[in-house]
Structure 1
């Protein structure tokens, strides 16, 4: 007789569960896993039956994890990462070559070092060349043949090409030790155009008639984070790339919602090495990102 200790958790159920967390809805999860919204909803129900716990609040207006859901999410991410790493390792003897990767600096500083380190262990014969820049600049440079693969942020989920791999909220934050966010007009720390974050922040502040002023301008991600920590103003970044030791801001402070951003992988997968890296980033980016529920 097979007892409860012998039950296995299907990885496809866990993957839809994690995508629902990262996307903030079953609809976004369905888009990322290539299923219908109703199919993802059934997957989540089946997953709850398997683990014997309710993972999402059913009466919440927004998708919200239960306490057990937050705990299980940590295990689900780890199990999916190990599953995908094992599969990648089995392919590594036949994969070699060079890949020129472009990515926004906030991703190369926060998420990609861990992901690329694990990719390098699984595929030791692939040489990676990584360049950081703004998403729009990276896409333009890719058109000129400078990159094989670009991790690009998009603020219009209905425009452009590429494979959607991750969707997450854009989040306001400021210094943990200063109170500049209480000033009016609101001091902002921004990157120069054509930064997607900058455009979204200024547009939403204007739409809601919230006065603001630019107090610090830099194209360097690390310089922007340092300026915010020093109390020069507030800014916003993708949720998974938030630095440590900061104060989160939102509606309670009178700041407008900034919505979601989509990460896409536009690439012509012309080699096995390129295909493997694109697949690896696509599978791991959402899993490595902090869950939306932890931010709420």
Structure 2
């Protein structure tokens, strides 16, 4: 007799892989971590396979990779059918503001998932320096904002709408400079929290520095670092592929942590804004852990 795979088991499996953990998948799907683990066990027992290496973090097995491809296609068909035949319960427009360095990290994947789940929601996304985002939010230009708010020396934690993430030095992996020369910096324009922290820490350590390149775009920062114009600093989870992160490099000091905050009017927001916040919160919680 042919077996039928429940779509909720497939969705749990795919969500774990995409978000990188059982706990964050549970938060995203509205289930406890034990419930998520039980669903994975049911899936494995149904198909008589193992989908994750139990002694090697969250690595997907070869059989799991095969299932993942089928699962994505099945869920796409399921979701397309539901979207076509049932009117989306969530619609409207959300004006979202995010820091420049998050535009090419976790955001595209999450917004793609959100768009597939809620095709009747229109997203208006703008990237800018956090100081500008926070000011514009106060003036009513955004429904939801993610921004860097302050600097701290404490260990990364998450609490409510706030997260603390480690700031790291970023290089192209082989760039070097003479120790008797000022540290060449690739930074965002004035007002950036990372720029403020870099200069403050270097000054406190008595280390000479110079601005070698400045850009308001993460792509511009990335290109300058790859070209060997200097080094920079970013939140650990936003370091682009191809660049290397360092807690310390040469005699440069530790950079501490940056507080990331969500700004939204909880008492006066649409269902679309609330749902988008839940998507981004789950993604940031995983990336900052």
Which band: TM-score by shorter chain? 0.5 to 0.7
Contact 1:185 1:211 (8 Å CA) reproduced: yes
- 2:193 aligned partner: 196
- Name the SS of the counterpart of 2:119 in structure 1: coil
* CA RMSD after TM alignment: 3.9
- 1:283 aligned partner: 282
- Name the SS of the counterpart of 2:161 in structure 1: strand
Q: Distance in 2 between matches of 1:222 and 1:206?
A: 27
4+ residue segments displaced more than 6 Å: 16-19, 67-70, 89-92
Q: Residue 182 of structure 1: CA displacement? A: 5.2
Q: Distance in 2 between matches of 1:124 and 1:181?
A: 54
Q: Residue 17 of structure 1: CA displacement? A: 11
Q: Residue 73 of structure 1: CA displacement? A: 8.4
Correspondences of 1:98-137 after superposition (within 5 Å): 98-137=93-132
Larger radius of gyration: 2
Q: Distance in 1 between matches of 2:26 and 2:166?
A: 15
C-alpha change, 1:102 and 1:16, in structure 2 (3 Å) is closer
Q: Distance in 2 between matches of 1:221 and 1:152?
A: 15
Q: Does 1:148 align with 2:134?
A: no
Correspondences of 1:152-171 after superposition (within 5 Å): 152-156=147-151, 163-171=160-168
- 1:227 aligned partner: 224
Task: State how many pairs are aligned.
Answer: 228
Contact 2:152 2:256 (8 Å CA) reproduced: no
- 1:28 aligned partner: none
Q: Distance in 2 between matches of 1:267 and 1:197?
A: 23
TM-score under structure 2 normalisation? 0.67
C-alpha change, 1:72 and 1:205, in structure 2 (3 Å) is same
Q: Residue 189 of structure 1: CA displacement? A: 0.8
Q: Distance in 1 between matches of 2:254 and 2:248?
A: 7
- 1:236 aligned partner: 233
Q: Residue 100 of structure 1: CA displacement? A: 0.3
Aligned with 1:248 (options 245, 248, 261) = 245
Once the two structures are superposed, what CA deviation does each residue of 1:19-67 show, in whole Å capped at 9, x if it has no partner?
9xxxxxxxxxxxxxxxxxxxxxxx9xxx9xxx9xxxxxxxxxxxxxxx9
Q: Distance in 2 between matches of 1:190 and 1:18?
A: 37
Aligned with 1:15 (options 23, 38, 52) = 23
Q: Residue 163 of structure 1: CA displacement? A: 4.6
Q: Distance in 2 between matches of 1:273 and 1:221?
A: 28
- 1:186 aligned partner: 183
Q: Whose helix fraction is larger, Structure 1's or Structure 2's?
A: 1
Contact 2:152 2:257 (8 Å CA) reproduced: no
- Name the SS of the counterpart of 2:197 in structure 1: helix
